[in-house]
C-alpha cells in the first residue's frame, strides 16, 4: 500500500472546510456556523476550528491537524488505527484504496 500517495489524495479531496464539515457531521460531530467544534467530547465549549484549506487548529491544546486523517486519528481518536481511519475516510470520499496497492 502506498500510504503516502493515498494520504496526499485524501488531503487534496478534503482541502476545503465544507468537505471537512460534511465528514465530521457523518461521524456525529457538530460544527458551528463559524467552523468550531469540540475535538474532545468532554470539552464544554468548541475549541477546534476548521480552516478554509481543510486543516484544523485546536486552540485548547495548541495542536494543528494538517488533514482530516490526523484530526480523526490523533485529535478526535475516532478510530483504533491510522489504517482504519484512512479506510473509513476513503469510503466516505469514494476513493478506491485498491488503486494504491504497490
Question: The CATH number of the domain where 40 resides is what?
Answer: 3.90.580.10
Average pLDDT over residues 58-81: 94
Is the pLDDT at 102 greater than 80? The verdict is: no
Can you tell me the distance from the alpha carbon of 33 to that of 52, in angstroms, rounded to the nearest whole number?
13
pLDDT grade, residue 71 (50/70/90)? very high
Number of separate domains in the chain: 1
Query: Residue 47: what pLDDT?
Result: 94
Query: Residue 101: what pLDDT?
Result: 83
Domain that holds residue 90: 3-100
Sign of CA dihedral 32, 94, 16, 55: positive
Is the pLDDT at 90 greater than 80? The verdict is: yes
Amino acid at each position: 500500500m502506498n500510504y503516502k500517495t493515498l494520504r496526499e489524495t485524501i488531503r487534496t479531496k478534503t482541502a476545503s472546510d465544507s468537505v471537512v464539515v460534511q465528514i465530521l457531521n457523518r461521524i456525529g460531530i457538530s460544527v458551528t456556523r463559524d467552523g468550531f467544534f469540540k475535538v474532545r467530547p468532554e470539552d464544554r465549549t468548541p475549541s477546534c476550528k476548521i480552516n478554509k484549506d481543510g486543516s484544523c487548529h485546536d486552540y485548547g491544546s495548541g495542536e494543528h491537524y494538517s488533514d482530516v486523517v490526523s484530526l480523526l486519528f490523533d485529535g478526535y481518536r475516532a478510530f483504533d488505527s491510522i489504517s482504519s481511519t484512512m479506510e473509513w475516510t476513503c469510503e466516505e470520499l469514494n476513493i478506491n484504496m485498491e488503486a494504491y496497492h504497490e
